[in-house]
Structures are given as structure tokens and as C-alpha cells.
Structure 1
């Protein structure tokens, strides 16, 4: 079967590899669509990062480069391993793509996403969504309604990232949220916030992303820092109270500074983006306003509620898909587009 294999920085190859073995407790999935994540792009440009370098196997998966990529994917069940009794062949599913030690508890209230050596399917080994088929442990397979188109279902994984950030914030209906950055995660997070009854202020420079925010209705106010004073506008919109909660989705220090300035006293700032460089923060403002700055990573038992939002029609994922490509075109039409014309794309999905 075809698969996209990461060998090293700038070296991803479309190769023929053996089909996965369906072991006890696993589910065989025909991959329908797989999204290209910002993490995948970072691996291509600067990696290996999450991907274990060749000769340095991951302590849980036992694998190192080359590995099959892709962790944002949907598909249809084609095989069921012994011991799996609550999944049917032909069922539509998405995957919570964790690689976690078998002895880590994953029930309600458990922070399994913070366990030692955590990694992701499609980065740390165990196959990936940028292949025709994959076998995944039952724990990480989530059935979805057949009414959700499989191309849209590939966006449930990044949507779950936004849902977990919302949970981490403690925000509630009626609050005003300031989202710094309208990239894929910023837009999908905004969709979650709107579905949960918040007023959303989005800051973004890109014309394409501002247009997408307006088209999808995920933001009540869209502010371009090159055109307006964001701090002044936020205070005007909030009648000088400041935002109840803010989300940093850019790994840009100027954006973080703006969030600190415009979040209300005793408000919450959630750092959603992955920073590859140190940041600075106005600690005096944090102290004097008693701000709560929180990190968030991926998701933890959030897929069920995330899927529910889509199944109930509270979030429409179709408009966020800006390009559909074939696996053979992964580099030329996928990664190269994101490198050279990133602002034109929200989510590129691949059909393996």
C-alpha cells in the first residue's frame, strides 16, 4: 500500500509498504482523508522533532525514522481484531492519535496526555493517516455518525485541540473571548467558542483568513492589527472591562503582549500554540491584574464532546477545507503550498 514516509528534514517519500497486521485489540481502518497539520510542516522543515530520529527508537513504539506520517484522519473500518466487540466493519471512525504506555490509565479525570514519553500516531510510529490503511488500538478509535462526510471528519482531530483549549480556559456562555491568530487552530477554536455561546473577537493579519472567519461566522469581531489599535478596539467592544478569556494561537510575542494588555483583571490567558523559541511576558501586568496564564496540549477525553458538536450541526467543518489533494501530490501541492503560500490555506486534506 502507498504511504508517506518521513526519513529526515526535507525528505518525505511516497513508498509502497506492507499493509498493517490486525492484532488482538486493534481496529483496521481504510483511511479516507488525512489533514496536513502544522506539526507535520515543522517536521518537514526543521525535523525530526516529535519523530524519533533514525537509530533512536521511541521508548513506547520502538520505532524511529522512517515512519509513516499523518495524525488528522478519518476512515472506514475494514477489519476487527480479537477482543474488539463494540466496533463494526463498515463503521465510520476518527482516531485520537496517541502513543501512550499501556499501563497509563485513560479514564475520566486522568491526564494521560501528560504521561511520560507521550507521542502521536503518525509522528512517533504505529502507522499514520497518510497511508491507505492503518491498524489502531481500540481505545483510540471513535465512531462517528455516517451523516458526517469523511472529508470533514478529518478535521475533528484539530477541532478537539480547540475544544480542549476551551475546557482549559474555564470559559462559559456569555463570556467574551479574544483569539489571537486565525490559522487553522485559531479558526476551529473560535468555532467551538461560538458553539458554546461566547462572543468571539479574532485578531488576524491575513486577508484570506479574515475572509474565512467572516464566511464561517466564527468571529463576531475581526481585528487587523495593521488597520486598528487592537487594545483600543477590545476595550471599546467590552465597555472597558477587557476580554474574559484570551487564547494565544500564533507563537508571536506581540500577540501575547496584546492579550496580557486586553484581558480583564482576574481573567485567563491560554497558550495554545507550540513555541519553538523563548517568549517574554509583562510579569508586572500579570501580577497587578492577577491574570491566570495556562498552557494546553492536544486533548484528553475530549473527542466525544467534540464529535457531538459536529453531529448536532453546531459546527460545520466543510468551509474550513481549502484544498483536497492526492497522496502523490503531498509535497508539490501540500507542503510546498504551506511553505510558500501559507496564508492562502486553512486546511489541506489528503486522500491516500
Structure 2
């Protein structure tokens, strides 16, 4: 099975990989032929650094976890899906008997197995076996490319849910990468009247400005807190989403926040960050953290189908599977203006 394999840090290859022997079909599983796979920042980080936190690439690993495809085989007890169904897949499989899963927090089950997180292989390969429970049928008007965006969109929707957005709220999203922009879209869909988005990249900010009532802020030229306070008569934003993963950015999360506001930390931090407890205290700020998502994939698919969220402007480049090594090299260079790169699998 020809796959995109991370051999070790800075070393990728397209080669046959004997993954089929590791994936027996269960009675409640489906086999999916992959169609479109997105390149996530975590995939790129494994390529450039060889590890994320405690998860270290110690043997060759197939990359990729944002995907859509077609069901080509179903287990004997599969009821909701059939051969030929177009689907997207939630990449984390928890232990159904764990305490976290039984409490509904399956995304933070310590035993969760997540695609392209060592030692679990990803899905930049022809087919994958996956539980029916975490496989979602697509409406006819949702394309494979849009469906491969459901996984990152789920992060934004989970963050917006944690923020408890109220109609008319003003939000500030720090970071105009894929996660920042899907969070801005989710915030608008949840009822925000206006969203500010900050970044260093004018090209990404231009994309953000076309997504709706979004005000771009280039942090190299403008002070986000001053801009937001001036635009809100000194009150500030009801919600601040931190989606940069930058310790410097995270240190300023309370500056543009209104009294009683909410902060949602999304961006993964590689080291401890400065936290202004005094600034949080005088605002009685509520701070939430998210880890991936839970219970939101069907909501994301429904919003794409209804048109309440449009992710198509975020898909800035598509590569053929045979060019996937070059695609990762380009993604690792962080070219300006690129938001989401995807790989089209052979059909």
C-alpha cells in the first residue's frame, strides 16, 4: 500500500507500507478509500521536529488525519453506512469503557488513539479501517475538499461552544492560520456580531476580511488591544480566542478582554506561558482550555451543508498524492498567504 511515510525527522518518502496487516475489519468497522487529506500543522511539526510534547516518532509513521473518502466495505453489524457512501472521519478513537469516555469527554481519554500521533499511523494512503461511530455520511452538496476541512473546523466549533457565545458578542481571534480562521467562522455562526483577527501575514488577513464581519489587525503595525478598545467604546471583546501557539501572544490575552469576558486557549504551547493573574482577576475572566474536540462533527457537516459556514476560501492549494513530499516541504516553509493545503488521493 503506497503511503506517505515519515521515516524520521526531516525525512519523508512515498513507498509501499504493510499497513493492511495491522488493520483487521471488525463487525462495526468500515473500510474507506481516501479521497482528500489536509495537511495539518501537527503533521508538519512531526516532519520538522520529530515529536510534539511526549509523542515522539521512534519508527516510520504514516502522516495525515484530516480526511474524506468513500466507503468500500462494511462490517456485519454496520447499520448507518453502506458501500458507496461519501464520508468524513473523526480521527480519534477513545476507549469506550474509560471513565472520561463514559462521562462524555472522550477527547481527553488518556487512552485515545489518534491518527498520525505516535505510535498510531495516519491516513495518507489508499484505504483505512475506521469505526462506524466515528465516520459521518456527507450530504450531496458537501464536496470531498470541504469534508476534509471538518476536522480543523471541529476545533473552532468546539472552542466557540466552550466560549458560550451569546448573540451580539464581539470576539477577538489571535492568529489567522487554519485554526484561527475556522474559529472566526465558528464564532460568527454562533452569533458574534463582529470578530477581530490578528496575524503577522497581510495575505492571510485579507482572506479573513472576506469571510464576513471580520476586522483584520496586523500586529506588526497595530496594537490589537488599542484597536479593539477603540472600536468598542473602551469596553473590549467579550471573548478572546488564542490560536497562535505563541507564548508572546498568549501573554497578552487579557489586554483586549472586557470585564467578565471569556478566554479560550486553543493554540498548543511548547513551553509554559506568562499568565497575568491580576489582569484576569480584576476582570473576573473565565479561562477555558480545549483539546481537539468532542461531539461536534455532525454539527460541522450540517453547517457546511446549510451554508452557514463556508470553508472553501481557506483551501489555498491542492497537490496530487505523488507530489505529497513536495507539498510537505512547501508547507514547512510557511509560505505567506497559504492557509490550508490539501492532497488529492488517486481515484
1:53, 1:228 → 2: CA distance? 40
Gap regions ≥5 residues in structure 1: 55-64
2:280, 2:238 → 1: CA distance? 14
Gap regions ≥5 residues in structure 2: none
Deviations 1:51-100 (CA, angstroms, capped at 9, x unpaired) = 5543xxxxxxxxxx323221100001111012112101111111110132
Structure 2 residue 146 is the aligned partner of structure 1 residue 152: yes
Structure 2 residue 216 is the aligned partner of structure 1 residue 213: no
Equivalent in 42, 47, 50 of residue 47 of structure 1 = 50
Equivalent in 334, 342, 345 of residue 335 of structure 2 = 342
Quote the residue 1:80 is aligned against. 74
Deviations 1:18-72 (CA, angstroms, capped at 9, x unpaired) = 4454332111111110000001011111123375543xxxxxxxxxx32322110
Going from structure 1 to structure 2, the CA distance change for 1:51 and 1:24 (only over 3 Å counts) comes to: farther
SS of equivalent residue, structure 1 residue 24: coil
Query: Is the Cα–Cα contact under 8 Å of residues 50 and 56 in structure 2 kept in the other structure?
Result: no
Q: CA deviation at 1:338?
A: 1.9
Equivalent in 23, 27, 34 of residue 24 of structure 1 = 27
Structure 2 residue 322 is the aligned partner of structure 1 residue 322: no
SS of equivalent residue, structure 2 residue 33: strand
What does residue range 98-113 of structure 1 map to in structure 2 within 5 Å? 98-104=92-98, 110-113=104-107
Quote the residue 1:351 is aligned against. 344
1:137, 1:105 → 2: CA distance? 20
What does residue range 1-352 of structure 1 map to in structure 2 within 5 Å? 1-18=1-18, 19=20, 21-49=24-52, 53-54=57-58, 65-104=59-98, 110-124=104-118, 127-198=121-192, 199-217=194-212, 219-332=213-326, 334-352=327-345
Query: Is the Cα–Cα contact under 8 Å of residues 32 and 73 in structure 2 kept in the other structure?
Result: yes
1:112, 1:206 → 2: CA distance? 35
SS of equivalent residue, structure 1 residue 135: strand
Aligned residues: 340
Q: CA deviation at 1:109?
A: 5.8
SS of equivalent residue, structure 2 residue 210: helix
Query: Is the Cα–Cα contact under 8 Å of residues 267 and 291 in structure 1 kept in the other structure?
Result: yes
Give the TM-score normalised by structure 2: 0.92
Going from structure 1 to structure 2, the CA distance change for 1:96 and 1:105 (only over 3 Å counts) comes to: farther
